[in-house]
């Protein structure tokens, strides 16, 4: 992929009142600095980041406006804001979680776009209707240019692999080659939402070199059922944040108690209709429709899947869907069964994978034998696992964890570790209190489990492209 020259432009917005034009704003900022950066450019397309810094009075609700200098420039997808365009005029409006900007506060937003002809940077911005004044300060640095085949290959997992699909028993990339994705799962976002912000996702993408970010949205246990709108919006925002960093996002409908996913089938249809419609154009989204079915037959799980998957497909026909399996997604092993019930009666749908979960201190050789056997007949994805006991606690089991990850690497089975959080339990990757401090980089913030998992996730992926 050809990498563009990076252009960073800083602007100072003048003081003024915009309450009449923007009634959602408590007060207009006395001034604002905007940094506009073209982070990457390729044939006919580019990615830009926009950093807003409030240097005036606090605001609650904001709208950023600018005009593209060239009539051929268009926003195609954006993140961390609501994006719209009319002609050459572009508007970015706050989302719920970043609507308030105190003095010195910042909002990092961005978009991908297309262009024909030139791709000059915007030369004027407004914030809540207050026009930019003064001359922009422009700095230019040169980045390297590389060419690697056709279609172009990028640097992030999503840039390299593009839209995923299931081919045989493997997860395959845009080159129809098997790939293994490795990354982390959130804890329940109703409890640990503060852990998922720009700094923590930057660390996950840049320091951990994570390929994916699983978003665990509990349905019960103070989750989705208590406030469907908030949870849906938060999931979508986290999808955008993962996309901005080139990571795949697993949208996990985290059913646990009760164990029969059919209890939540109406909620599932509503939720997946909304998120699939909203995210259909994205290449980084994978849908996990039932986290850990338990105490319920495979036939009931299969029936649930065959009702929910068509809802997703109606809006997003191309994305991979993960289907939970019996007995806490153990392929039935934890309730005395095995993969044969799925092999003999698979879900009637294409482009799907079946999930397997394990906790290394509790699930050992008999579980690994099942995965080894099943992997030759079923497409599997380990959407959750822990290095400790099935309770999420107890001692870190390095030997069993190593045996598991060596097996998954050998079989090219993707995985997400539980959890990228600072929960007070040994399965957490971050030390307790980390999310209060705001620093997520360096070994000092990691638990023993976190340091081990990071060492495995951050090794080179070597995704095949030919």
| pLDDT the model gives residue 285 | 98
DSSP character string of 197-218: SHHHHHIIIIIS--SEEEEEEE
Residue 277 domain-assigned? yes
Q: What is the CATH number of the domain that holds 77?
A: 2.60.40.290
| pLDDT the model gives residue 81 | 77
Residues 346 and 258 in one domain: yes
Residues 173 and 115 in one domain: no
| pLDDT the model gives residue 12 | 47
- How far is residue 265's CA from residue 274's CA, in Å, rounded to a whole number? 14
What stretches of 20-73 adopt beta strand conformation (E)?
32-42, 45-54, 59-60, 63-67
Percentages helix, strand, coil for the chain, rounded to the nearest 5? 30, 30, 45
Pick from 33-47, 279-293, 322-336, 346-360: least confident: 33-47
Residues 83 and 34 in one domain: yes
- pLDDT at position 21 over 80: no
- Looking at per-residue confidence, does 171 or 59 come out higher? 171
Neighbours of 303 (CB within 10 A): 15
Residues 38 and 164 in one domain: no
- pLDDT at position 294 over 70: yes
Residue 383 domain-assigned? yes
Domain boundary among 111, 141, 171: 141
Residues 163 and 76 in one domain: no
Residue 221 domain-assigned? yes
Neighbours of 424 (CB within 10 A): 10
Tell me: the pLDDT tens digits for 188-207? 999 999 999 999 999 999 99
| pLDDT the model gives residue 167 | 92
- How far is residue 257's CA from residue 205's CA, in Å, rounded to a whole number? 32
Cα-based distances in Å from 162 to 280, 318, 323, 404, 463:
14, 12, 22, 27, 11
Residues 181 and 35 in one domain: no
Domain boundary among 117, 141, 165: 141
Q: Taking all residues of the chain, what is their mean pLDDT, rounded to a whole number?
A: 86
Residues 352 and 404 in one domain: yes
Catalytic-labelled residue, pool 243, 288, 384, 425:
384
How many domains does the chain contain in total?
2
Domain boundary among 141, 168, 198: 141
Residues 284 and 428 in one domain: yes
Give the HSE-up count for residue 239: Cα atoms under 13 Å, Cβ half-sphere: 24
Q: Is 292 a catalytic residue?
A: yes
| pLDDT the model gives residue 218 | 98
Cβ(379)–Cβ(415) under 8 Å? no
Cα-based distances in Å from 139 to 6, 8, 315:
8, 6, 42
| pLDDT the model gives residue 23 | 36
What pTM was estimated for this model as a whole? Answer: 0.69
Tell me: the pLDDT tens digits for 161-185? 999 999 999 999 999 999 999 999 9
Cα dihedral value 436, 441, 445, 450, nearest 10: 120
- Average of pLDDT values for 36-53? 73
Residue 1 domain-assigned? no
Residue 308 domain-assigned? yes
Residues 183 and 110 in one domain: no
Cβ(380)–Cβ(371) under 8 Å? yes
Under the banding of pLDDT at 50, 70 and 90, the label for residue 43 is: low
Tell me: the pLDDT tens digits for 400-450? 999 999 999 999 999 999 999 999 999 999 999 999 998 999 999 999 999
Residue 105 domain-assigned? yes
Residue 373 domain-assigned? yes
Q: Are strands 321-323 and 352-359 parallel, antiparallel or unpaired?
A: parallel
Pick from 144-153, 334-343, 437-446: least confident: 144-153
Residue 325 domain-assigned? yes
Cβ(63)–Cβ(101) under 8 Å? no
- pLDDT at position 361 over 80: yes
Residue 67: both structure tokens together: 């005009």
Residues 135 and 239 in one domain: no
Q: What is the CATH number of the domain that holds 275?
A: 3.20.20.80
Catalytic-labelled residue, pool 243, 288, 292, 341:
292
- Range(s) of the domain holding residue 108: 6-141
């Amino acid at each position: 992929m050809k990498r563009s020259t990076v252009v960073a432009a800083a602007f100072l917005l003048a003081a003024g009142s915009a309450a009449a034009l923007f009634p959602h704003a408590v007060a207009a900022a006395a001034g604002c600095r905007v940094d506009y950066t073209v982070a990457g450019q390729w044939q006919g397309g580019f990615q830009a980041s926009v950093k807003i810094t409030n240097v005036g009075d606090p605001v609650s609700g904001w709208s950023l406006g600018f005009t593209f200098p060239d009539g051929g420039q268009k926003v195609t997808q954006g993140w961390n804001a609501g994006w719209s365009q009319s002609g050459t005029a572009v508007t970015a409006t706050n989302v719920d979680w970043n609507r308030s900007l105190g003095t010195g506060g910042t909002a990092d937003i961005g978009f991908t776009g297309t262009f024909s002809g030139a791709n000059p940077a915007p030369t004027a911005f407004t914030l809540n209707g207050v026009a930019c004044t003064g001359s922009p300060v422009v700095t230019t640095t040169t980045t390297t240019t590389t060419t690697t085949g056709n279609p172009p290959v990028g640097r992030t997992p999503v840039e390299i692999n593009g839209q995923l699909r299931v081919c045989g028993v493997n997860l395959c990339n845009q080159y129809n080659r098997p790939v293994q994705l490795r990354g982390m799962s959130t804890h329940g976002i109703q409890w640990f939402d503060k852990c998922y912000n720009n700094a923590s996702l930057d660390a996950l993408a840049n320091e951990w070199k994570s390929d994916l970010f699983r978003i665990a949205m509990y349905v019960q246990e103070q989750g989705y059922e208590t406030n469907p709108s908030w949870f849906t919006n938060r999931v979508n925002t986290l999808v955008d944040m993962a996309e901005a960093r080139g990571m795949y996002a697993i949208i996990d409908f985290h059913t646990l108690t009760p164990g029969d996913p059919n209890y939540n089938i109406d909620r599932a249809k509503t939720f997946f209709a909304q998120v699939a419609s909203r995210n259909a154009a994205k290449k980084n989204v994978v849908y996990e429709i039932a986290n850990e079915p338990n105490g319920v037959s495979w036939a009931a799980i299969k029936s649930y899947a065959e009702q929910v998957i068509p809802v997703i497909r109606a809006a997003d026909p191309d994305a991979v869907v993960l289907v939970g399996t019996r007995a806490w997604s153990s392929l039935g092993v934890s309730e005395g069964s095995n993969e044969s019930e799925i092999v003999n009666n698979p879900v009637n749908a294409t482009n799907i994978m079946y999930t397997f979960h394990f906790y290394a201190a509790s699930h050992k050789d008999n579980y690994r034998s099942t995965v080894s056997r099943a992997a030759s007949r079923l497409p599997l994805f380990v959407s959750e696992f822990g290095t400790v006991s099935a309770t999420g606690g107890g001692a870190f089991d390095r030997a069993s964890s190593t045996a598991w990850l060596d097996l998954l690497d050998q079989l090219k089975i993707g995985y997400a570790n539980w959890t990228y959080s600072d929960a007070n339990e040994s399965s957490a990757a971050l030390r307790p209190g980390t999310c209060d401090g705001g620093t997520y980089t360096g070994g000092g913030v990691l638990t023993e489990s976190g340091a081990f998992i990071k060492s495995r996730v951050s090794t080179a992926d070597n995704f095949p492209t030919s």
